Chain A
Amino acid sequence: MIESILQYDFLQNAFLSGIIIGIIAPLLGVFIVVRRLSLIADALSHVTLAGIAGSLYLSQSVTAFATLNPIYLGIVSAVGGSVLIERLRRLYKHFEELAIPIIMSAGLGMSAIFISLAQGFSADLFSYLFGSVSAVSRQDLWIVLGIAILVFAFIFIFYKELFVLSFDEDYAKASGLPAKTIHLLFMVVTALVIAASMRIVGILLVSSLITLPVAASIRIAKGFKQTIFFAILFGELAVIIGLVTAFYLNLAPGGTIVVTSILILLLVIMIKKIVMAIRAKD
């Protein structure tokens, strides 16, 4: 495996991108999960799909866009979607979750139109839907790295504000924190992480990499910092095991990564149960 990675550029791209995503998706995921925004991540990933499908169609039909990396339009539509969701959430104050199906169906609907307009990019599309080991380009890797730096900077700078905002929104507002601005930034960063992750895990499974490691971590962590630590650990484990299996068995990495995350989650739940039972006995 190591030799193959050293030998093939595409494997380097996939593994390095995977390792970066294994950190940023669960890191942001902790905030997403505790704020109960997991479904929003899902909605955003469908909007990203619309951007990707639109871009694939453009590059087929307009020669000027023939070499356009679809990730750019993916990022644009994800960020646009995140801003729209916020708008809708404010509009439907008492039915905030209505924003999710609205945006989700808009994303899927547009995707369906672009996909049926353009015949014959099914292989490309498959790799965007379920991830790919071989399709990650050097350019993708740089984009992922750039997004990761933004995510780290955002969380480093606003850690304590994000903490208060996630724990107790009313209190955050009463303390005079710029809650609205930080929340909007948060949504935009979430959109970026989704766009970055889809190359490896695929659009349909992005939200799993954001939520499953956190779900496992919450079972065992003490305190918020530990929750972040374990989430990243589990996310990284899932990505590496998932990518290696995908490579050897020639499977879509989205599938192997998500199945590994689920196994980790089950294992953590089981171990916790056993430990509790043993403690209860003494």
Chain B
Amino acid sequence: MAQKPLIELQDVSFQYEYTNVLRDISLSVREGDFLALLGPNGSGKSTLLKIILGLLKPTKGTVKLFGEPGSTFKHREWIGYVSQKSNSFNSGFPATVKEVVASGLTKKIGLFKRRLPDQQAKVIESLKAVGMEQFANRNIGELSGGQQQRVFIARALVAEPKLLILDEPTVGIDHENVQSFYDMLTDLNERHHMTMILVTHDVDTVSDTISHVACLNQTIHFHGFKDDYDSLSDDQLNAWYGHAVRKIHHDNKEKQK
């Protein structure tokens, strides 16, 4: 396996005005990986994703995307992003679901061009993937929080990114749909080789889906294959971040079923 790293972080540290949030983080994600990023509230997961996306600049260290320095990386359309509980968006905004999803193509279409020839089909297809096609012509503000979240996932999928970054994407989505959502991610990962980084607190549900795990609490305490993560002791995990994150308990999962 000689896949090239899509993301390479080297000694990345970050602080918001006075608080240190991330310390000496080195992490690489290779093509085809499905990485779950775990850590308690406030451990810096969202901050780390924002650094990868170029929304925040590291106070120290370097970021490489697809082998290029993050600051000169041009192909942002290769990276799809679903932010944590999208409150950055403007909730009364008068736009239809279709218009919102189509806006995910903006970078791919490029400056000075208006639309793709098969844009309509692409938009509908990604709405179907999240089961929202019947809402295509509704205004985004008229949807429930969970429905909006699904639309934002469709917006990230529509440009067919090579790397998908998801910050707790299933918050607000009901149980039944969470499972089918992860099935869809698995399919994208396995058949379309889409690389995934997923922030979640719901380790049990994704354990069959992911290939790698990274444990973050200011710094990376563990990064490796899922199986190696499984064999870590509870004491080890508690030492890193208290009782906030549970190990994947396969036997628990069996009992629940």
Q: Which residue of B lies closest to A182 (CB)?
A: B111
**Which residues 136-170 of A sit at the B interface, judged by CB distance below 8 A?**
157, 159-161, 163-164, 166-170
Q: Which residue of B lies closest to A227 (CB)?
A: B94
Q: Are A174 and B100 in touch, CB under 8 angstroms? A: no
Report the minimum CB–CB distance from B64 to chain A (whole Å): 16
Q: Are B90 and A176 in touch, CB under 8 angstroms? A: no
B14 at the binding interface (Cβ < 8 Å) = no
**Which residues 77-114 of B sit at the A interface, judged by CB distance below 8 A?**
77, 79, 81, 83, 86, 88-90, 92-96, 98-100, 103, 105-107, 109, 111-112, 114
Other A-B contacts than A34-B90, A171-B155, 17 sampled, CB-CB below 8 A, are A34-B93, A157-B112, A167-B90, A167-B95, A168-B88, A172-B106, A174-B53, A174-B76, A174-B79, A174-B83, A175-B76, A176-B73, A222-B139, A223-B95, A223-B96, A223-B98, A225-B99
Q: Per-residue CB proximity of B1-19 to A under 8 Å, as 1/0?
A: 0000000000000000000
A34 to B114, CA, bound (A): 21
Q: Which residue of A lies closest to B115 (CB)?
A: A160
- List residues of chain A with CB within 8 A of the CB of B54: 173-174, 176
- List residues of chain B with CB within 8 A of the CB of A172: 106
The 3 closest A-B pairs by CB, nearest first: A176-B76, A223-B96, A170-B88
Contact of A170 among B77, B83, B103, B139 (CB under 8 A): B83
Report the minimum CB–CB distance from A220 to chain B (whole Å): 10
A185 to B252, CA, bound (A): 57
8 inter-chain pairs at a CB distance below 8 angstroms, sorted by A residue, are A159-B114, A160-B106, A167-B90, A170-B83, A171-B88, A175-B81, A178-B111, A224-B93
B239 at the binding interface (Cβ < 8 Å) = no
Q: Are A176 and B77 in touch, CB under 8 angstroms? A: yes
- List residues of chain B with CB within 8 A of the CB of A176: 54, 73-77, 107
- List residues of chain A with CB within 8 A of the CB of B100: 167
- List residues of chain B with CB within 8 A of the CB of A217: 94
Q: Are A223 and B139 in touch, CB under 8 angstroms? A: yes
Q: Which residues of B contact A (CB under 8 A)?
A: 53-55, 73-77, 79, 81, 83, 86, 88-90, 92-96, 98-100, 103, 105-107, 109, 111-112, 114-115, 137, 139, 155
Q: A223-B96, A223-B99, A224-B96 are in contact. Are A173 and B77 (CB under 8 A)?
A: no
Q: How many residues of A contact B (CB 8 A)?
A: 31
A177 at the binding interface (Cβ < 8 Å) = yes
Q: A34-B94, A223-B94 are in contact. Are A169 and B88 (CB under 8 A)?
A: yes
Q: Are B93 and A160 in touch, CB under 8 angstroms? A: no
- List residues of chain B with CB within 8 A of the CB of A163: 95, 99, 103, 106
- List residues of chain B with CB within 8 A of the CB of A34: 90, 93-94
Q: Which residue of A lies closest to B82 (CB)?
A: A171
Q: Are B111 and A166 in touch, CB under 8 angstroms? A: no
Q: Are A160 and B53 in touch, CB under 8 angstroms? A: no
Q: Which residue of A lies closest to B159 (CB)?
A: A175
Q: Are B103 and A177 in touch, CB under 8 angstroms? A: no
A36 to B93, CA, bound (A): 11
Report the minimum CB–CB distance from B79 to chain A (whole Å): 8
A221 at the binding interface (Cβ < 8 Å) = yes
A224 to B95, CA, bound (A): 5
Report the minimum CB–CB distance from A223 to chain B (whole Å): 4
Q: A161-B106, A222-B137 are in contact. Are A167 and B81 (CB under 8 A)?
A: no
Q: Which residue of A lies closest to B96 (CB)?
A: A223
Q: Which residue of A lies closest to B138 (CB)?
A: A222
Q: Are B77 and A175 in touch, CB under 8 angstroms? A: yes
A163 to B75, CA, bound (A): 20
- List residues of chain A with CB within 8 A of the CB of B83: 170-171, 174
Q: Which residue of A lies closest to B81 (CB)?
A: A174
A218 at the binding interface (Cβ < 8 Å) = yes
**Which residues 225-260 of A sit at the B interface, judged by CB distance below 8 A?**
225-227
Q: Are B111 and A167 in touch, CB under 8 angstroms? A: no
Report the minimum CB–CB distance from B8 to chain A (whole Å): 18
Q: Are B93 and A166 in touch, CB under 8 angstroms? A: yes
Q: Are A175 and B107 in touch, CB under 8 angstroms? A: yes
Q: A168-B88, A168-B90, A223-B139 are in contact. Are A160 and B55 (CB under 8 A)?
A: no
